[in-house]
């Protein structure tokens, strides 16, 4: 079956890509709030009136007094001054403000494109679902924060990882829909090679996703601050005397710091190996130029990301490097999606 006519919907695609860029910034801001322990500085969730920060010293004092009623201040920051509180407050405030801005940047153009007929009946439900996911992500973020306002001065690693994973899910939806609006499916010279490579890329995307989830548990338990050597961990490649101490065994994957870090290490190494194999296969797959560029960028970024991870570990998680490593995860995930999208063949070639 010959290719059918394809008409790119560039304005809608570029808007969705701009939203994906905003998600990227949001993930980086979220990582910074975690690394600087700023996330529990705002102890209330007011989606509408909470857009305004404290505007006077009296209002700052009220916000600070509210913060004092919760475990993070009482157990960790009892020495904190109002000036120090402002330092952690502003980062969390901008994190939430950016989320509100994303809602407006999404909703207003969405309504405009609907009015102008640029979003048809087939596309509208998909775009609307992304908006709903964004709203639920805000609720999930507050659900995460609440876990650190009860009796321990830290958020649940389960809720933090769910919040992180939801951000990547939204990113995937934005990127995939945008690319589908920009580019048609590809007709390959050697479809059997392209489809074999596509299977590798599906596996690679799954590995990248699992590694990101494992990284969420590393962040949620502060596991990156222990065993700061590589490739050895406590002097061994596999420190069995530290791993899986609790029963049942699977609990350790989410709650034991040594097991969590080891799991993230192994997944990262396997991911970069699979990325290298996929890149090698792409060199002989007779791909179009854009698909080659996607695979080349993906292979290179996999090396960069594992290097950032090792450096973050060895330097004991400096804020700037930890943030860069999290940003690299978004870039790697996005490139994996792009490469996989480029390998979409026509149905009759499957």
For residue range 16-35, list pLDDT tens digits in order. 999 999 999 999 999 999 99
What would the DSSP string read from start to end of 49-81? Answer: GGGSPP-SHHHHHHHHHHHHTSHIIIII-TT--
Selection from 225, 253, 230, 256 nearest residue 321 by Cα: 225
The reported pLDDT for the residue numbered 2 is 47
Q: Is the pLDDT of residue 3 over 60?
A: no
The reported pLDDT for the residue numbered 346 is 59
**Which residues neighbour 287 within 8 Å (Cβ) at sequence distance 6 or greater?**
188, 194, 197, 295, 342, 343
Which pLDDT band, with edges at 50, 70 and 90, does 291 fall under? very high
For residue range 268-288, list pLDDT tens digits in order. 999 999 999 999 999 988 889
Q: Is the pLDDT of residue 245 over 60?
A: yes
**Which residues neighbour 16 within 8 Å (Cβ) at sequence distance 6 or greater?**
127, 174, 175, 177, 178, 181
The reported pLDDT for the residue numbered 316 is 96
| Percentage, residues of the chain above pLDDT 90 | 83
The reported pLDDT for the residue numbered 202 is 96
For residue range 32-48, list pLDDT tens digits in order. 999 999 999 999 988 77
The reported pLDDT for the residue numbered 49 is 64
Which two tokens mark 221? 């338990």
DSSP-derived 3-state class of residue 1: coil
The reported pLDDT for the residue numbered 5 is 64
Beta bridge partner(s), residue 345: 186
DSSP-derived 3-state class of residue 233: strand
Q: Give the pLDDT mean for 9-13.
A: 94
**Which residues neighbour 216 within 8 Å (Cβ) at sequence distance 6 or greater?**
157, 160, 161, 164, 165
For residue range 307-340, list pLDDT tens digits in order. 999 999 999 999 999 999 999 999 999 999 999 9
């Amino acid at each position: 079956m010959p290719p059918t006519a394809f008409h790119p919907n560039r304005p809608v695609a570029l808007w969705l890509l701009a939203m994906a860029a905003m998600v990227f910034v949001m993930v980086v801001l979220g990582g910074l709030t975690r690394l600087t322990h700023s996330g529990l500085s705002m102890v209330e969730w007011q989606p509408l009136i909470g857009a305004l920060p404290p505007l006077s010293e009296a209002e700052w004092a009220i916000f600070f007094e509210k913060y004092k009623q919760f475990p993070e201040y009482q157990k960790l920051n009892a020495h904190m001054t109002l000036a120090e509180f402002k330092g952690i407050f502003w980062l969390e405030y901008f994190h939430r403000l950016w989320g509100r801005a994303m809602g407006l940047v999404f909703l207003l153009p969405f309504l405009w494109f609907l009015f102008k007929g640029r979003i048809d009946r087939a596309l509208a439900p998909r775009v609307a679902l992304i908006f709903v996911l964004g709203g639920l992500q805000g609720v999930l973020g507050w659900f995460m924060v609440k876990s650190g306002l009860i009796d321990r001065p830290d958020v649940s690693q389960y809720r933090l990882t769910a919040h992180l994973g939801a951000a990547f899910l939204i990113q995937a939806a934005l990127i995939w829909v945008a690319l589908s609006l920009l580019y048609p499916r590809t007709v390959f010279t050697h479809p059997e090679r392209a489809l074999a490579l596509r299977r590798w890329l599906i596996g690679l995307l799954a590995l990248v996703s699992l590694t990101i989830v494992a990284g969420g548990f590393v962040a949620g338990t502060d596991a990156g601050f222990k065993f700061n050597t590589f490739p050895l961990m406590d002097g061994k490649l596999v420190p069995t005397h530290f791993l899986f101490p609790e029963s049942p065994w699977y609990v350790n994957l989410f709650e034991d710091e040594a097991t969590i870090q080891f799991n993230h290490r192994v997944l990262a190494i396997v991911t970069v190996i699979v990325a290298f194999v996929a890149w090698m296969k792409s060199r002989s797959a007779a791909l179009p130029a854009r698909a080659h560029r996607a695979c080349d960028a993906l292979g290179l970024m996999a090396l960069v990301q594992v290097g950032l991870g090792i450096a973050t570990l060895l330097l004991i998680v400096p804020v700037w490097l930890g943030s860069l490593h999290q940003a690299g995860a978004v870039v790697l995930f996005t490139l994996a999606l792009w490469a996989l999208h480029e390998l979409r063949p026509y149905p009759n070639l499957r």
